[in-house]
Amino acid sequence: MEKNHVIRIKCPDQKGLIAGIAGILFKRGYNIMVMKEYVETETGQFFARLEIAGDLESQELESELKYLLPPSAIVEIIPRKKKRIVLLVTKEYHCLGDLLVRHYFDELHAEILAVIGNHNTLQSFTEKFEIPFHFISHEGISKTAFEQTILQTLETYQPDYLVLAKFMRILTPEFVQCYKDRIINIHHSFLPAFIGANPYKKAFERGVKLIGATAHIVNNDLDEGPIITQQIIPVKHDDGLTDMIEAGHEIEKSVLADALKLVLEDRIFVSGNKTIVFS
């Protein structure tokens, strides 16, 4: 089934916005297939996501919508096409493997351009899928030099999004700013209760009854960026540490895939440190 073009709008709320938007689209001959909107009462912001069918004339449509909307309105006209992503990894394979398999069978509905790793552990695995792997070591160089090398590599690909598929390095604010609201991360939901190394071991020793995972947009606060989606699963008293780790990996894969689907379909708005998710 062919995808529709997407329109995303964020602006201060006022009367008549929905009627005005629909009127412009009708006048220009577009068919509205889906329209969802939300007003965040705390900030007074209006959010809308529309899917439209028709021959797209992006510049003209954007200009007409902006003329109608409040002066500070953000309007995005997004034609139907696959997003371009680059994955960043360290040594853990489960999230990378899941995304590469989905990509191979065209379930991801995106183009994985390359994988960048600060270890070469996953290079041969990645190359089995005929995707370039760039080994950029962080050892023996400054963080600035390490990140600059990554940015130079990314420049050759011009990705729409970066996905941290268990990339175990903290990114600097300068790096994050280069891809503001375009870096997706996955982590176990034990943070901050079980911080540092071996979180599953610490959780096992504490006897937790639920484990989970969180996918979020990266900002300058470690693992505290706007949350996209979360899941939890129960843990039984007779589950061993290995059982817990395996279950944790499964839920991390699931949450990351779900979050990436929402992002790639342009369903996420960032509002402060929260997200508006049009599912």
Residue with tokens 């997706």: 184
Please tell me whether the peptide bond between 226 and the residue prior to it is cis, using omega within 30 degrees of 0.
no
Q: Could you give the residue numbers annotated as active site? A: 223
Pairwise CA distance, residues 208 & 222, whole Å: 23
Dist CA 115 CA 154 (whole Å):
10
Could you give the CA distance from residue 179 to residue 81 in angstroms, rounded to a whole number? Answer: 20
C-alpha span between 244 and 168 (Å, rounded):
20
